[in-house]
Structure 1
Amino acid sequence: MRTIVHISDIHFGRIAYPTVQPLIDAVRGVHPDVVVVSGDLTQRASERQFAEARDFLAQLPSPQIIVPGNHDVPLFNVVGRFFRPLANFRRYISSEAEPFYSDNEIAVLGLNTARSLTFKNGRINHEQISRVRQRFCSIDSKVIKVLVTHHPLDLPRQWRKATVVGRADMAMKVMASCGADLLLAGHYHVSHTGGTASRYPIQGYSALVVHAGTATSTRGRGELNTFNVLRIERPFVTIERYYWRVEQGIFQVFREERYQQAGEGWLLS
């Protein structure tokens, strides 16, 4: 079995500081094999905010798969936005914006969907789609393949009019051909799990999309601060939703979902 902690939308610069140390304690207590951070580490991509994010991440277990979000690209610094969009991310967080981890049970690939020309929405380019094919198609089908992006490739039904990442249709065809299993994302600050078959009717294929809400930001959009724990043991994936308990000052499991990989997709078991 492998355990992945999935946190997202930390937003240093607009953070609920009472949640930070309890989040660190909760993540450590899970003893994850991999920690995934699906973007928006900062609010305005400043050096100070990235330094805070770096110090926070240093207290979490490794290995870590960390991708940037649209808030990690400078907004008001026009030169930085268009000529060095990830300079502070690479300086303070990681030189690699598209990390990869694999062992004999899971393969986890991060893709950077943040773009200088889009202030909120994201995009995947042809080179990245080729990278997905190169990484995932060569891996044994018994290994659970996990893609991490900030901007999601699919959305909950109530968010159907919102925007998914650009070129998602093209990317999903490659995901299907390589048998990608799990798609982890953030961006909308909503916790949700669902299959891709409704939006992408690809015969014989449906991936499981797992959204994480904001772990520490004050921008909860009606949802408590939260993060996910995925316990993977093919053909099962159990997703534990940890929510912030203000009165107790701790993160606790609020909901647990168990999915089984069966035939053309994932079934709630």
Structure 2
Amino acid sequence: MRTLVHLSDLHFGRVDPALLDPLRDLVHRIAPTAVVVSGDLTQRAKSEEFEQARAWLDTLPEPQIIVPGNHDISLYNVFRRFVLPLDRYKRYITDDLDPVYIDDEIAVLGVNTARSLTFKDGRVNKEQVAKIRETLSGLDPKLTRVVVTHHPFDLPAGSEESDLVDRAGMAMDVFKDLGVDLLMAGHLHLSHAGNTQARYKISEYAALVVQAGTATSTRGRGEVNSFNVIRIERERIEVDRYGWDTVHEQFQVMATEKFMRAGNVWTEQAEGLYAAGI
């Protein structure tokens, strides 16, 4: 089994400092295989915000799979936005915009969906999808395949369609061929887990989608600060959502969702069926 801690939308520059130490300590106790951060490390892509984000990330376990979000591109500095859109991100966080972690059970691929030509929307392009194909094609088919982006491939009920990553359909057709199992994202400040079956009518294929809320930002959207712990086996994935308990001033498990794979289709399982291994 492999364990991923899924953090998103940290937004240094607008963080609640009371959450930082408890979250760091809990992540160490969980002892994940890898820490995944799905974008928006900063609020306004300022140097001091990236410095704060880098300093805090350095206190977390490694390896870390980190991708940028739209807030990690300068908003008001036109030169930086269009000429050096992710210069500070690459200087302080990582110059690898498409990071990869592979072991003998999982393959986790980060993909940069942040773009300077739009204020909040994102996209995936053909070159990135080709790189995913190249990386995954030669791997053992038994590995669980994970793709991490900031902008989501699916949406919780009530979300705006514009929040969906652009060219999602093109990418999903390739993901089906590659057997991508799990799509992890942020951006919405809302937690969600489900599969892609309703949105993408792809025969005999439905990936699991796991959306993280904001782990540390004060910019909540009606949901407490939260993050995910994802436990991965070949045929089963369990998602624990941790939320901030203001009374006890700690993160607590608020919900657990369990999914099983049949062929290339991931579906949520009732507790009784999961426990029985059916």
TM range (shorter): over 0.9
- In 1, distance between residues paired with 2:263 and 2:87? 44
Which stretches in structure 2 are left out of the alignment for 5+ residues? Answer: 270-278
Secondary structure of 2:29's counterpart equals: helix
Aligned pairs for 1:110-259 (under 5 A) are 110-159=110-159, 161-259=161-259
- Residues 6 and 35 in structure 1, CA contact (< 8 A), matched pair in contact too: yes
Which stretches in structure 1 are left out of the alignment for 5+ residues? Answer: none
**Amino acid across the alignment from 1:119:** F
Shift of 1:132: 1.1
What is the aligned partner in structure 2 of residue 43 from structure 1? 43
Shift of 1:267: 2.1
Please identify, of 216-225 and 129-138, the stretch whose mean Cα deviation from structure 2 is larger.
Answer: 129-138
What is the aligned partner in structure 2 of residue 267 from structure 1? 267
**Amino acid across the alignment from 1:88:** R
**Amino acid across the alignment from 1:113:** T
Secondary structure of 2:161's counterpart equals: coil
**Amino acid across the alignment from 1:42:** T
- In 1, distance between residues paired with 2:201 and 2:160? 15
- In 1, distance between residues paired with 2:5 and 2:109? 14
- In 2, distance between residues paired with 1:258 and 1:137? 27
Shift of 1:19: 0.7
Determine what percentage of the aligned residue pairs are the same residue.
54
Q: What is the TM-score normalised by the length of structure 2?
A: 0.95
**Amino acid across the alignment from 1:261:** R
Please identify, of 48-57 and 134-143, the stretch whose mean Cα deviation from structure 2 is larger.
Answer: 134-143
What is the aligned partner in structure 1 of residue 100 from structure 2? 100
Shift of 1:197: 1.1
Aligned pairs for 1:60-75 (under 5 A) are 60-75=60-75
What is the aligned partner in structure 2 of residue 56 from structure 1? 56
- Residues 181 and 264 in structure 2, CA contact (< 8 A), matched pair in contact too: no
- Residues 208 and 267 in structure 2, CA contact (< 8 A), matched pair in contact too: no
- In 2, distance between residues paired with 1:163 and 1:245? 28
Please identify, of 247-256 and 113-122, the stretch whose mean Cα deviation from structure 2 is larger.
Answer: 247-256
- Residues 137 and 179 in structure 1, CA contact (< 8 A), matched pair in contact too: no
Secondary structure of 1:44's counterpart equals: coil
What is the aligned partner in structure 2 of residue 76 from structure 1? 76
- In 2, distance between residues paired with 1:118 and 1:224? 28
What is the aligned partner in structure 2 of residue 28 from structure 1? 28
- Residues 137 and 177 in structure 1, CA contact (< 8 A), matched pair in contact too: no
Secondary structure of 1:18's counterpart equals: helix
Secondary structure of 2:220's counterpart equals: coil
Shift of 1:160: 5.8
Runs of 4+ with >3 A deviation: none
RMSD: 0.9
- In 1, distance between residues paired with 2:159 and 2:177? 27
Shift of 1:137: 2.1
- In 2, distance between residues paired with 1:136 and 1:201? 23
Q: What is the TM-score normalised by the length of structure 1?
A: 0.98
Shift of 1:127: 0.6
